């Protein structure tokens, strides 16, 4: 947009009737007044946690289910209602919610316990103290407050992945050191097999109560979208079929309500940018493409250097060195990869390890790597890019920047 065209653009934007009246209603962390299709789960969790209102320690509870099945939303909904009742009746209950995916909160045991301690108003340095000392500070402050504490560890599998499961054992043992307070742990995970891999001591303490959240089906997703759309948009701005298409896309993606809401929000944003006043079915296709592009770019950005280097080598062969369309195999990639390592000043991995990375890139959906048998010469992989052509230049730029090329 040239400068002359920009003159008055923002004024005209403000003069238009907006499509959205409350865009926050389409965000995953928005808590509506009621949560459809999760009544059974809410009642079960509320039943486990209700004894806290009598200052009786509730059982530790572990909740798991795939992304977008309403786990965090239900816990936040229950916690809000629990705190309202506790405050009304002057019950010394405290609930601390921690997202273990956040690096600054839970990438080490020290940081997590330091964050818990700060929640009680204690100034704790970011580093410098022994972890044992931080535990003592936390226990001392909690005992001083004489409270029942519920600790919600969202994405608990990420915490264990980064720090090991010893931290969970230490947290479940806190009650043996406390005299005037008690602690209950609420773990939330997207990984259905997470508990199976824990140390048996941790597993028995953490999973006193377990609850699985099933995926939403297409009909349930439609009713969730209709509820949120009423809150988010002006009346009559959504064309017939839009809600159904959003729900169908998300149902295909293991019933992810968060994805369904994101699709509807992005479709609304696309409609506004096109200066149109009605969300149509075609805008959902545009939203799906945009979200998928953003997902791939984010995945590439967060990969370690050797992953980026392997992907860069695949790009190099597929886009520059394969104009005749011949099949591309692991050996072809490995030769380019070794040269790229020299350019980046990195030590090359073995061809077997690069083959493993290629398999992981295949699992992430960035490439298609088909295993081909070459008889007595062993097996190799035939490789094709699975990334939309429009996204390739952006990914190439990210790879070059990340590798310093």
pLDDT of residue 392: 79
Residue 178 pLDDT class (50, 70, 90 cuts)? very high
160 & 253 share domain: no
- The larger pLDDT score, comparing residue 320 to residue 52, is at 52
Average of per-residue pLDDT across 369-382: 73
Computed over every residue of the chain, the mean pLDDT equals: 87
**Considering only CA atoms, which of 136, 147, 151 is closest in space to residue 181?**
147
Domain that holds residue 330: 303-403
In a domain, 3, yes or no: no
pLDDT of residue 378: 65
Over residues 113-122, the pLDDT tens digits come to 999 999 999 9
Average of per-residue pLDDT across 185-211: 84
In a domain, 8, yes or no: no
pLDDT of residue 189: 92
202 & 267 share domain: no
Task: Compute CA distances 338 → 22, 153, 173, 332, whole Å.
Answer: 52, 42, 50, 10
- The larger pLDDT score, comparing residue 6 to residue 60, is at 60
Cβ distance 374 to 380 under 8 Å? yes
d(CA 257, CA 72): 12
Distance of CA 27 to the CA centre of its chain: 13
Answer with the one of 152, 180, 212 that is the final residue of a domain.
Answer: 212
d(CA 312, CA 132): 44
- C-beta atoms surrounding 157 within 10 Å: 21
In a domain, 285, yes or no: yes
pLDDT of residue 322: 57
Q: For residue 290, what is the domain's CATH number?
A: 1.10.8.60
Task: Compute CA distances 162 → 101, 195, 325, whole Å.
Answer: 10, 16, 42
171 & 51 share domain: yes
| pLDDT over 80 at 374, yes or no | no
80 & 147 share domain: yes
Answer with the one of 177, 212, 247 that is the final residue of a domain.
Answer: 212
| pLDDT over 90 at 18, yes or no | no
The highest-confidence range among 65-69, 199-203, 323-327, by mean pLDDT, is: 65-69
314 & 373 share domain: yes
pLDDT of residue 291: 78
| pLDDT over 90 at 16, yes or no | no
pLDDT of residue 324: 53
pLDDT of residue 92: 96
DSSP string spanning 333-366? HHHHHHHHHHHHT-PPPPHHHHHHHHHHHHHTTS
- The larger pLDDT score, comparing residue 300 to residue 295, is at 300
In a domain, 326, yes or no: yes
Residue 285, helix vs strand vs coil: helix
Q: For residue 145, what is the domain's CATH number?
A: 3.40.50.300
**Considering only CA atoms, which of 190, 92, 230 is closest in space to residue 150?**
92
Average of per-residue pLDDT across 78-89: 96
Answer with the one of 298, 322, 349 that is the final residue of a domain.
Answer: 298
pLDDT of residue 76: 95
Strands 61-64, 182-189: pairing kind: parallel
285 & 367 share domain: no
In a domain, 351, yes or no: yes
pTM: predicted TM-score of the whole model, two decimal places: 0.75
Q: How far apart are the first and last CA of the chain?
A: 31
In a domain, 7, yes or no: no
pLDDT of residue 38: 96
Strands 328-329, 182-189: pairing kind: unpaired
| Contacts of residue 56, Cβ cutoff 8 Å, sequence gap at least 6 | none
91 & 78 share domain: yes
Cβ distance 195 to 216 under 8 Å? no
Residue 11 pLDDT class (50, 70, 90 cuts)? confident
pLDDT of residue 370: 81
- The larger pLDDT score, comparing residue 323 to residue 402, is at 402
**Considering only CA atoms, which of 197, 286, 281, 210 is closest in space to residue 242?**
281
- The larger pLDDT score, comparing residue 380 to residue 120, is at 120
pLDDT of residue 43: 97
In a domain, 13, yes or no: no
| Contacts of residue 167, Cβ cutoff 8 Å, sequence gap at least 6 | 109, 112, 159, 160
281 & 328 share domain: no
Over residues 315-342, the pLDDT tens digits come to 888 877 554 556 788 888 898 899 888 8
Q: For residue 317, what is the domain's CATH number?
A: 1.10.10.10
Residue 228 pLDDT class (50, 70, 90 cuts)? very high
DSSP string spanning 298-321? HHHHTS-HHHHHHHHHHHIIIIIS
244 & 393 share domain: no
d(CA 329, CA 382): 5
136 & 224 share domain: no
Residue 73 pLDDT class (50, 70, 90 cuts)? very high
Average of per-residue pLDDT across 89-93: 96
330 & 240 share domain: no
82 & 201 share domain: yes
In a domain, 24, yes or no: no
Q: Could you give the number of structural domains in the chain?
A: 3
pLDDT of residue 107: 79
d(CA 18, CA 276): 10
Length of the chain: 405
Percent of the chain scoring above 70 in pLDDT = 95
d(CA 331, CA 365): 21
């Amino acid at each position: 947009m040239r400068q002359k065209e920009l003159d008055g653009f923002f004024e005209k934007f403000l003069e238009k009737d907006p499509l959205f009246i409350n865009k926050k209603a389409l965000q995953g962390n928005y808590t509506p007044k009621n949560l459809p299709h999760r009544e059974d789960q809410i009642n079960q969790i509320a039943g486990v946690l209700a004894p806290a209102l009598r200052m009786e320690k509730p059982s530790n509870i572990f909740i798991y289910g795939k992304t977008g099945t309403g786990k965090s939303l239900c816990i936040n909904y229950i916690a809000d209602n629990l705190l309202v009742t506790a405050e009304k009746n002057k019950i010394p209950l405290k609930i601390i919610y921690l997202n273990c995916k956040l690096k600054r909160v839970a990438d080490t045991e020290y940081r997590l316990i330091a964050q818990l301690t700060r929640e009680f108003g204690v100034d704790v340095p970011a580093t410098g103290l022994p972890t044992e000392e931080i535990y003592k500070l936390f226990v001392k402050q909690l005992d001083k407050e004489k409270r029942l504490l519920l600790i919600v560890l969202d994405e608990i599998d990420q915490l264990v992945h980064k720090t090991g499961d010893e931290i969970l054992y230490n947290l479940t043992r806190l009650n043996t050191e406390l005299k005037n307070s008690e602690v209950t742990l609420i773990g939330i995970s997207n990984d259905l097999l997470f508990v199976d891999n824990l140390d048996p001591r941790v597993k028995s303490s953490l999973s006193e109560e377990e609850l699985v959240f099933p995926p939403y089906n297409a009909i349930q997703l439609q009713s969730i979208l209709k509820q949120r759309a009423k809150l988010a948009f002006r009346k009559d701005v959504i064309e017939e079929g839009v809600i159904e298409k959003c729900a169908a896309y998300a149902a295909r993606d293991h019933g992810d309500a968060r994805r369904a809401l994101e699709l509807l929000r992005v479709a609304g944003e696309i409609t506004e940018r096109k200066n149109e006043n009605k969300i149509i079915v075609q805008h959902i296709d545009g939203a799906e493409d945009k979200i998928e592009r953003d997902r791939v770019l984010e995945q590439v950005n967060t990969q370690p250097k050797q992953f980026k280097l392997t992907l860069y080598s695949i790009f190099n062969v597929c886009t520059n060195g394969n104009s005749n369309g011949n099949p591309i195999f692991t050996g072809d990639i490995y030769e380019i990869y070794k040269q790229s390592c020299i350019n980046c000043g990195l030590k090359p991995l073995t061809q077997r390890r690069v083959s493993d990375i290629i398999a992981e890139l295949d699992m992430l959906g960035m490439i298609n790597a088909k295993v081909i048998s070459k008889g007595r010469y062993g097996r190799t992989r035939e490789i094709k890019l699975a990334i939309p052509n429009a996204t390739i230049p952006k990914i190439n730029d990210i790879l070059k920047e990340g590798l310093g090329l």
